[in-house]
Amino acid sequence: MSKKRVLITGAAGFLGSHLCDRFIKEGFHVVGMDNLITGDLRNIEHLFKKEEFEFYHHDVSKFIHVPGELHYILHFASPASPIDYLKIPIQTLKVGSLGTHNCLGLAKAKNARILVASTSEIYGDPMVHPQNEEYWGNVNPVGPRGVYDEAKRFQEAMTMAYHTFHGVETRIVRIFNTYGPRMRLNDGRALPAFIGQALRGEDLTVFGDGSQTRSFCYVDDLIEGIYRLLMSDCAQPVNVGNPDEISLKDFAEEIIALTGTTQKIVYKPLPVDDPKQRQPDITRAKEILGWSPKVSRKDGLKVTYEYFKALPKEEWFKQPKEFATKK
Ligand SMILES: NC(=O)c1ccc[n+]([C@@H]2O[C@H](COP(=O)([O-])OP(=O)(O)OC[C@H]3O[C@@H](n4cnc5c(N)ncnc54)[C@H](O)[C@@H]3O)[C@@H](O)[C@H]2O)c1
């Protein structure tokens, strides 16, 4: 019997590359697609020699053509860290809107089931804690982060419309902060930023007074949740994340203990619209998918730290990516 074919957009990124690995392991033929704007081919280099993997260098905000059958589509292409989407706001809005529309059109044409990567950012700076899927969010559409948050909210609306009006089988995962190997040290998110500073022997920068909270999910747990959601019959959005919440100040202290750095914590002003609290309510994922995270922060951080430590030293000092295009 021939293998089922899955298209993964954003395949060369952090999460996309882990998804490619998982679907190959599950016996699928994987079609990866990426324009490499924030991704890195090194994340999927090991897959190029496999017959069951093919790759298209393509911008999904433009019309997508994939020959042959497709059974599943996972739409993960999008700049994901604030340091990226603040520099390329238009592309971020385009990939969440036009890119999603193109993926949904492809799903309809191929009669494929599609899962789109949404985010806890659709809850904005939440007034409800922890956030469950019934909460509509508190987003500033014209604030700097609006380009990402609103693109993802539009993505959800468009996905639901394709489900309701065209009968496309759709799944929406609302991903909360996830970490693990293949993240970029310089992507501006708290976890790689702290580890990068510790590796370089710099002080760890906490924004605000550090009382704002985050909940970090290890990548293997997230991928398991996504896989289960895709295979479920749930068209409603599902939160996938780790509810183990920690303040950024305490988290910085955990990183200091983990890395053994002698540096201290320094405080800087809080960026505009930075969410104060983040914790997923995962009741729905537990009930519908039988899913809950298994990897403790202690274990996940250890693996992630070892990954960053083993990178060539010049990677520790690499500046954040600059982008040539404004469109
Ligand atoms: N990592 C997280 O904690 C997190 C949390 C919530 C949601 N998400 C979502 O998961 C997805 C992947 O995030 P990530 O952390 O792996 O980010 P990433 O930047 O590592 O990966 C995104 C990938 O998408 C590609 N891409 C961007 N625009 C594209 C376009 N127009 N055409 C083709 N490829 C394009 C990039 O080159 C990159 O390889 C994103 O949709 C993001 O919004 C991630």
Question: Average pLDDT in the 89-103 region?
Answer: 98
* HSE of 320, CA atoms in CB hemisphere, 13 A: 15
Asked if residue 34 has its Cβ within 6 Å of ligand 1, the reply is yes
Residue 182 has pLDDT above 80, yes or no: yes
- Tell me the C-alpha to C-alpha distance, in Å, between residue 293 and each of 21, 104, 161, 197, 235: 19, 29, 30, 28, 21
Residues 216 and 177: their CA atoms lie apart, in Å, by 5
Query: Closest Cα partner for 239 from 75, 120, 78?
Result: 120
Crossing angle of helices 297-309 and 248-259, in 10° steps, is: 60
User: pLDDT tens digits, residue range 130-175?
Assistant: 999 999 999 999 998 999 999 999 999 999 999 999 999 999 999 9
Q: Range(s) for CATH 3.40.50.720 in the chain?
A: 5-179+217-240
Asked if residue 149 has its Cβ within 6 Å of ligand 1, the reply is no
Contact 140, 274 (CB under 8 A): no
Active site residues: 148
- Tell me the C-alpha to C-alpha distance, in Å, between residue 282 and each of 125, 201, 258: 18, 37, 28
Residue 125 has pLDDT above 90, yes or no: no
Centre of ligand 1 from the C-alpha of residue 15, in Å: 7
Best substitution site from 15, 21, 73, 103 to test ligand 1's pocket, by max atoms within 8 Å of Cβ?
15
Residues 257 and 263: their CA atoms lie apart, in Å, by 11
Per the structure block, which two tokens stand in for 96?
């969440």
Amino acid of residue 143: G
What is the model's pLDDT at position 148?
97
Asked if residue 99 has its Cβ within 6 Å of ligand 1, the reply is yes
Residues 247 and 271: their CA atoms lie apart, in Å, by 16
Architecture of domain 5-179+217-240: 3-Layer(aba) Sandwich (3.40)
Map tokens 């100040």 to a residue.
249
What is the model's pLDDT at position 327?
66
Query: Closest Cα partner for 10 from 157, 121, 117?
Result: 117
Residues 227 and 224: their CA atoms lie apart, in Å, by 5
Contact 229, 289 (CB under 8 A): yes
Q: Range(s) for CATH 3.90.25.10 in the chain?
A: 190-214+244-278+295-316
Question: Which of the 8 DSSP states describes residue 141?
Answer: T
Contact 35, 102 (CB under 8 A): no
What is the model's pLDDT at position 276?
82
Best substitution site from 76, 103, 154, 172 to test ligand 1's pocket, by max atoms within 8 Å of Cβ?
76
Residues 155 and 99: their CA atoms lie apart, in Å, by 9
Question: Average pLDDT in the 294-299 region?
Answer: 97
* pLDDT confidence band for 188 (50 / 70 / 90): confident
Amino acid of residue 271: P
Share of the chain above pLDDT 70, in %: 98
Beta-bridge partners for 117 = 173
Centre of ligand 1 from the C-alpha of residue 9, in Å: 8
Map tokens 């799944």 to a residue.
171
Q: Which CATH superfamily is domain 190-214+244-278+295-316 in?
A: UDP-galactose 4-epimerase, domain 1 (3.90.25.10)
* pLDDT confidence band for 87 (50 / 70 / 90): very high
What is the model's pLDDT at position 320?
82
- Asked if omega into 67 is within 30° of 0 (cis), the reply is no
Contact 115, 73 (CB under 8 A): yes
Query: Closest Cα partner for 165 from 108, 237, 222?
Result: 108
Q: What angle do CA 237, 95, 279 make, to 5 degrees?
A: 35
User: pLDDT tens digits, residue range 53-62?
Assistant: 999 999 999 9
What is the model's pLDDT at position 321?
77
* pLDDT confidence band for 319 (50 / 70 / 90): confident
User: pLDDT tens digits, residue range 36-70?
Assistant: 999 999 999 999 999 999 999 999 999 999 999 99
Q: Where are the alpha helices (DSSP H) in the chain?
A: 14-25, 82-85, 89-94, 100-110, 146-166, 190-200, 219-231, 248-259, 283-284, 297-309, 313-316
Crossing angle of helices 219-231 and 14-25, in 10° steps, is: 60
* HSE of 62, CA atoms in CB hemisphere, 13 A: 9
